[in-house]
Amino acid sequence: MSTIHDLQPAIVWNNFYQLTQQPRPSKHEEKVRAFLLQWGKDHGVETFADETGNVIMRIPATPGYENRKTVILQGHMDMVPQKNNDVEHDFVKDPIETWIDGEWIKAKGTTLGADDGLGVAMAMAVAEDKSVKHGPIEVLITYDEETGMTGANLLKPHTLKGDILINLDSETEGELYVGCAGGLDTEAYGRYEQKPRPKGYTAYSIKVKGCQGGHSGMDIILCRANANRVEARLLYNILKKTDAKLVWFEGGNMRNAIPREAEAVIYTKDDLKVARIVKKIGKEIITEFDQSDPNLSIIMEPAQNVRKKYVEEETALKYVQAVLACPDGVERMSQTMPGIVETSNNLAIVKIKDGKISIITLMRSFVDSAKVALSQKVASVLNLAGISTRFTGAYSGWAPNGDSEIMKVMQKTYKDMFGKDPEVMAIHAGLECGIIGGIYPNLDMISMGPTLKSPHSPDERAYIPSVQKVWDFLKAVLAAIPEK
């Protein structure tokens, strides 16, 4: 079986391999930042970190291309840290292990980090490869994109000199993105009364496992099972129909990843009745999602080392109902872009434990007013359950520009190279273009990238042939950049 070291283009895959060796979960970018700075020094590339922590590289024009417009190649250094429960992996310390499965490259039980490691690797390859013909180049590698787009938000208006920005963070070869959705985070919190463990009750764990999960923007249209909603549906029936007491409930761990797993612990005197409910409702849920989530499983088993307190009964039911009723998934399809999700919400993280409840969601929309309306719906549901809400991390979408010069250049180049037109579209996900465009309003922007599947989940994989194709396309585009 081949390895990552056998893949072409070698210059891109070698850079990507080096990135897989640098721990780089969001908010822990110290090691990858140091690596990038040293890499630039070793390759004779002007490289520095701005005052907030973004890494900038500057590459002079190829002789004869000095009068071309300056292009910014942009990606992000961080990755989403997701792993299967049976995998031992510390994202803050351990490298990513890759393997080849036919025409796909995958990681061993974790996210691969091709989002956006491959985009960064291509930008590094442009800086390294002296055969690439191009005008002046700036490389912007931001940090903490996945949990707040912090690096892009804190970018200063005097840092970049470029005229055109090519974002290398989209995930389907042959598609050019000229617009993206804006976002808004819900942070909801509350406190509740706990009661001591009742005599004669036994503790049981109810686990939801094997959901497909995925990117909360790209994959939300697939209507996959949200583990938090599945868990709440089970608990609703259990709490309504039995003597069960909720001890705790926890699911999801990333705001921009569809939750794959959730678990709750209950006390009960009638474990057989609870088991019958879990079997009946579980079978119904598994049947409903047999196409989108074929590996979904629900497990009830005795729980060990359980806390001695449980959530007061009325409060427990109220919280479970709030999770069950909170908007999740596609809220509305676009009226102007057929087949594109306009507005959605990802019920990302639920934690009811130790006298505290916290719920995190991520809303996306191309329409700011629709995003506000959805936030009011979410707040209304949670507030009725006595849970306080606040909204953070708001960013507007990136509106398409029909007169974009770089779009026209890339359309022509793609048609000339591959004999067909690329798809030009907007994406229901957060690209940094919208934020960067707000800081640099005169930038002409576009986004592209190789084909990835199931980013933000351990099923993340990159289609190997698409990397060569995108690399060849990027080189041709850089050679075709117009003069100033």
CA distances from 368 to 154, 168, 399 (A): 21, 25, 11
How big is the chain by its Cα radius of gyration, in Å?
24
Identified catalytic residue from 29, 78, 261, 444: 78
312 part of the active site:
no
Identity (one letter) of the amino acid at 451?
Answer: T
Asked whether the beta carbons of 355 and 192 are under 8 A apart, the reply is yes
Taking CA atoms, 297 is separated from 13, 225, 357, in Å, by 36, 11, 25
Number of H helices, E strands in the chain: 12, 23
Q: Which of 29, 116, 144, 145 is catalytic?
A: 145
Q: Which two tokens stand for residue 39?
A: 């890499």
Q: Identify whether 301 is a catalytic site residue.
A: no
What does the alpha-carbon distance between residue 3 and residue 23 come to, in Å, rounded to a whole number?
A: 20
The encoded tokens of residue 239 equal: 């709490």
Q: Sort 394 into a burial class: Cβ within 10 Å, 0-12 / 13-18 / 19+.
A: middle
Residue 177 CB contacts under 8 Å (≥ 6 apart), including other chains: 167, 170, 425, 426, 427, 431, 446, 447, 448
Give the integer Cα–Cα distance in Å for 285 and 361. 22
H or E stretch including 367? none
Residues in the chain: 484
Instruction: State the burial class of residue 59 (Cβ atoms within 10 Å of its Cβ: 0-12, 13-18, 19+).
Output: buried
Nearest CA to 105 out of 121, 123, 118 is that of 118
* Residue 149: Cβ-neighbour burial (10 angstroms; 0-12, 13-18, 19+): buried
Write the DSSP assignment of 326-348 as a string of letters. Answer: S--EEEEE-SSSTT-EEEEEEEE
Question: Would you name the residues annotated as active-site residues?
Answer: 78, 145
